[in-house]
Amino acid sequence: MLLSLPAPPVIAEPSGSNPKRFDQVGWHRERTLLVPIRRGAFLRFRKGRGRCPLERIHNFNPGPAALPLEVLRQAQRQLIDYRHGGMSIMEMSHRSSDVERLFEETGQLLLKLLGLDASYTVLTMGGGASMQFAMLPLNAKESGKAGGYVVSGSFSEKAYQEARFVGDATVLASSKNANWRTLPAVDDLPLDPAMAYVHMTTNNTIEGSQFRHFPDTGAVPLIGDMTSDMLSRVIDYRRFAMCYASAQKNLGPAGVTVAVVRKDLLDVFAKVRQLPSILRYSTYAQHKSMYNTPPVHAVYMMKLVLEWTERQGGIAAIEQENRRKAELIYGVIDQSDGFYDGLIAKSDRSMMNMTWRMADEAMEKRFVLESEANGFDGLAGHRSVGGIRASAYNAVPYTACKALAEFMLDFRQRNG
């Protein structure tokens, strides 16, 4: 099968003293030439695709995650000269009109995509979703009221623990005893009208579950950590008084976090006094998210992703595509006679993060290794859960999911 090829590349181990030669160059499925560059990593050359058609990998990473190729190319073109200003956006003052406009337009576009009007404000900040876990109870604390938490996975539990650290917090519903394999019921939460807010995680990134409906919390503000599913599906975002997301799943690269806050809630937060300025939501609102130096480049990338989302036809079109992608993978799982064993109850499965187990850890390990040799990345489950997780965020194309479904069928045939 091997053609006459140059010798395999000889490269040094990263730590290494002696140059080492790994395995051999070989064909995968007679279609793709694999050239090992280090253990577990190959260059791929497709047959009949002309010279050096080095491909991008099928990226199923949970976050930071895939970005649309179109967006990366756009950023590449503008990298050293943003809007003919003779410098990169990364080199610009955040007090310049270009950057001010960038922030303004980014916020407007996000509201538009989410179907929200001017009764909401978009705040951008650093610190990730994890900082929101702390900031939210800190800003609510002086009201003297407790935050209520729906605990459905490890991120929502982290949010709850941070709130407990700050002050008063209660669990309204939890599926911890079910090992997060199902979602807790949210129809009959023991709500107290005097609660500061109800917090929930709309998509549980690590476990792979996703809420399809949301509690009616009446006058109590509902707050959603939507880090791993904002923009991925049509929901009535107006049901949330605030939703937040760090960017590295669906919105862009890591470095920026958005909090979309209804203005009446912002008014409540504005009364807080016992809190350093940098931790107050009202500071970000007053200074248009530029109280101090903001993550300008991350916001710029997010804007490109938002524009891309709009070009795809907005959230509705994206959701349809996400549904097709998830059906492919879950289809393979459900027709595998238990070879692939879905972690989450069917009715609660996530379209973003699909999780399953296999016969044993050795098999799972082999699945991951072989997937890497076949051009996939990021499929190992979270270290706290194990198993396999395929994260198919908005920017992961249908073709990548198709390739994964085919690989799963093939793997099962060889190992089932």
Q: Show binding-site residues for L-glutamate.
A: 95
Q: Is 205 in the site for ligand PLP (CB under 6 A)?
A: yes
Which residue in 63, 107, 215, 387 binds ligand PLP (CB under 6 A)? Answer: 63
User: C-beta of 309: minimal distance to ligand PLP in Å?
Assistant: 18
Residue that is written with structure tokens 């560059």 in the block: 37
Check residue 294 and give left, alpha or beta (phi > 0: left; psi -120 to 50: alpha): beta
Paired tokens of 364: 């799972």
Which residue in 114, 123, 125, 129 binds ligand PLP (CB under 6 A)? Answer: 129
CB-based burial of residue 211 (10 Å sphere; 0-12 exposed, 13-18 middle, 19+ buried)? buried
**Crossing angle of helices 97-114/296-311, nearest 10°?**
40
**Of residues 158 and 402, the one with the C-beta less far from ligand PLP:** 158
Consecutive H or E run containing 104: helix 97-114
User: C-beta of 164: minimal distance to ligand PLP in Å?
Assistant: 17
**Of residues 157 and 372, the one with the C-beta less far from ligand PLP:** 157
**CA separation (Å) from 41 to 230, 289, 370, 391?**
32, 41, 11, 20
By beta carbon distance, the residue nearest ligand PLP is 128
Q: Is 227 in the site for ligand PLP (CB under 6 A)?
A: yes
Q: Which residues are annotated as a binding site for pyridoxal 5'-phosphate?
A: 129-130, 155, 205, 225, 248, 292-293
Instruction: Return the range that interacts with ligand PLP (CB under 6 A); candidates 3-11, 224-232, 286-294, 312-320.
Output: 224-232
Instruction: Return the range that interacts with ligand PLP (CB under 6 A); candidates 3-11, 184-192, 220-228, 376-384.
Output: 220-228
* Neighbour tally for 338: CB within 10 Å: 12
**Of residues 139 and 391, the one with the C-beta less far from ligand PLP:** 391
The answer to whether 181 touches 345, Cβ cutoff 8 Å, is: yes
DSSP string of 346-401, one letter each residue: GGGB-SSEEEEE-SSHHHHHHHHHHHHHTTEE--BPPTTT-SEEEE--TTS-HHHH
Q: Is 199 in the site for ligand PLP (CB under 6 A)?
A: no
Q: Is 249 in the site for ligand PLP (CB under 6 A)?
A: yes
Instruction: Return the range that interacts with ligand PLP (CB under 6 A); candidates 41-49, 75-83, 135-143, 225-233.
Output: 225-233
Q: Is 246 in the site for ligand PLP (CB under 6 A)?
A: yes
User: C-beta of 64: minimal distance to ligand PLP in Å?
Assistant: 9
**CA separation (Å) from 30 to 3, 4, 46, 411?**
12, 15, 10, 16
Instruction: Return the range that interacts with ligand PLP (CB under 6 A); candidates 77-85, 222-230, 284-292, 304-312.
Output: 222-230
Q: Is 228 in the site for ligand PLP (CB under 6 A)?
A: yes
Phi, psi angles (nearest 5°) of residue 110: -65, -45
Hey, what amino acid is at 104? E
Q: Is 378 in the site for ligand PLP (CB under 6 A)?
A: no
User: C-beta of 130: minimal distance to ligand PLP in Å?
Assistant: 3
DSSP lists the bridge partners of residue 58 as 376
Instruction: Return the range that interacts with ligand PLP (CB under 6 A); candidates 28-36, 127-135, 136-144, 381-389.
Output: 127-135
User: C-beta of 327: minimal distance to ligand PLP in Å?
Assistant: 22
The answer to whether 178 touches 153, Cβ cutoff 8 Å, is: no
Q: Which of residues 138-167 bind ligand PLP (CB under 6 A)?
A: 155
DSSP lists the bridge partners of residue 199 as 149, 223
User: C-beta of 232: minimal distance to ligand PLP in Å?
Assistant: 12
Can you give the three-state secondary structure of 216-250, one letter per residue? CCCCCCEEEECCCCCCCCCCCHHHCCEEEEECCCC
Q: Count the site residues for ligand PLP by CB under 6 A.
A: 12
User: C-beta of 18: minimal distance to ligand PLP in Å?
Assistant: 39
Q: Which residues are annotated as a binding site?
A: 95, 129-130, 155, 205, 225, 248, 292-293
Binding site for ligand PLP (CB under 6 A): 63, 128-130, 155, 201, 205, 225, 227-228, 246, 249
